């Protein structure tokens, strides 16, 4: 698979993260980028009420949550 991060184009693998890790990563992103995370949740129709517990819950929901993937570049 090909993906782009910033101006860099790479080849590699996309690895879906388990629900618990997705929740943790989404919460980390929300702490670092609160406005962007809130806007993203509104855009995709998720109800992130701004609480610290909302993002881990949304990321960890295996049915209606936000799946997070790891981009693994080829060596």
pLDDT tens per residue across span 24-74 = 999 999 999 999 988 988 898 888 887 778 888 888 888 888 888 999 999
What local confidence, expressed as pLDDT, does residue 48 receive? 80
Rounded average pLDDT over 2-30: 92
Residue range(s) defining the domain that contains residue 38: 2-73
In angstroms and rounded to an integer, the radius of gyration of the C-alpha atoms of the chain is 13
Domain count, the chain: 1
What local confidence, expressed as pLDDT, does residue 47 receive? 80
Report how far residue 23's alpha carbon sits from residue 40's, in angstroms, rounded to the nearest whole number: 15
DSSP-assigned letter for residue 50: S
What local confidence, expressed as pLDDT, does residue 28 receive? 93
**Helix segments in 1-75, DSSP class H:** 19-32, 34-43, 54-60
What local confidence, expressed as pLDDT, does residue 10 receive? 93
What local confidence, expressed as pLDDT, does residue 2 receive? 93
Do 70 and 15 contact (CB within 8 A), yes or no?
yes
């Amino acid at each position: 698979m090909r993906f782009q991060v910033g101006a860099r184009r790479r080849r590699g693998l996309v690895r879906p993260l388990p629900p618990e890790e997705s929740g943790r990563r989404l919460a980390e992103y929300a702490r670092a980028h609160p406005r962007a995370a809130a806007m993203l949740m509104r855009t995709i129709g998720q109800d992130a009420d701004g609480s610290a517990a909302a993002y881990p819950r949304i990321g960890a929901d295996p049915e209606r949550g936000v799946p997070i993937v790891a981009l693994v570049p080829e060596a």
